[in-house]
Amino acid sequence: MPDPADTSAATLVVVDVQNDFCPGGALAVADGDAVVPLVNRIARRFGVRVYTQDWHAADHRSFASSHPGASPFSTTEMSYGMQVLWPDHCVQGTPGAEFHPGLDLEPADLILRKGFRPHVDSYSAFYENDRVTPTGLAGYLRERGIASVWLAGLATDFCVHYSALDAVRLGFRVTLVEDACREIDLDGSHAAALAAMGEAGVAFVRTAEFAA
């Protein structure tokens, strides 16, 4: 079990805590804003803090609106595999794409925008959904001497899940701060994501385990 009292040489990756993923947003995650005070409470304990930001073009191909007749949360085959078609969300420059106003960004070492290429979605903080196009985060962390990645944010079963598995695949030690995440839970996706992360060797902690 990772020691939450010793995270000064680790990075916290805070995934997509943006207005559109919080209550009232275009793709709201139930109770999504509840992660904000938890992230704020623990962020400064980490040596490096990275905040990711979904940043989609208005005509992004992962939007159901870009596929005539398609319904949100249906799926389609893209050049890189099966893609969930989402409601329009986190469109570049819109209020929905902004970080939640309660999120403390002062500790941020890096704000990483992802999903800006119109023809490929990007759940992971490390790779786009084609699984080959890197965001550059792995190289940034290695140059900073980081070997341990901790994850929080939205949503557990999509962007956090993909980020965790990619971080493991890239050779990082990975820990999920479970209560500082919330899930969409699309057709059992939450339980499947937790199982996949556990099988990959991701550790799980809760914010209460951090030293006061």
As given in the structure block, the two tokens for residue 22 are 């919080």
For 110-126, the DSSP string reads: EEEEE--STTS---SSS
- 145-162 burial, b at 16+ Cβ within 10 Å, e below that, comes to ebebbbbbbbbbbbbbbb
31 classed as catalytic: no
Please tell me which residue in 20, 22, 90, 159 is annotated as part of the active site: 159
Alpha-carbon distance of 189 to 155, in angstroms, equals 11
173 - beta bridge partners? 148
For 175-209, the DSSP string reads: EEEEEEEE---SSSHHHHHHHHHHHHT-EEE-GGG
88 classed as catalytic: no
Contact 147, 112 (CB under 8 A): no
22 classed as catalytic: no
**Tens-place pLDDT, residues 94-149:** 999 999 999 999 999 999 999 999 999 999 999 999 999 999 999 999 999 999 99
- Indicate the range of 1-15, 36-50, 130-144 predicted with least confidence: 1-15
Instruction: Inform me whether the pLDDT recorded for 182 exceeds 60.
Output: yes
- Indicate the range of 4-13, 36-45, 175-184, 200-209 predicted with least confidence: 4-13
Amino acid 130: pLDDT? 94
Alpha-carbon distance of 45 to 113, in angstroms, equals 23
Amino acid 3: pLDDT? 76
Please tell me which residue in 20, 22, 33, 114 is annotated as part of the active site: 114
Amino acid identity of residue 168, one-letter, is V
Please tell me which residue in 16, 20, 54, 157 is annotated as part of the active site: 16
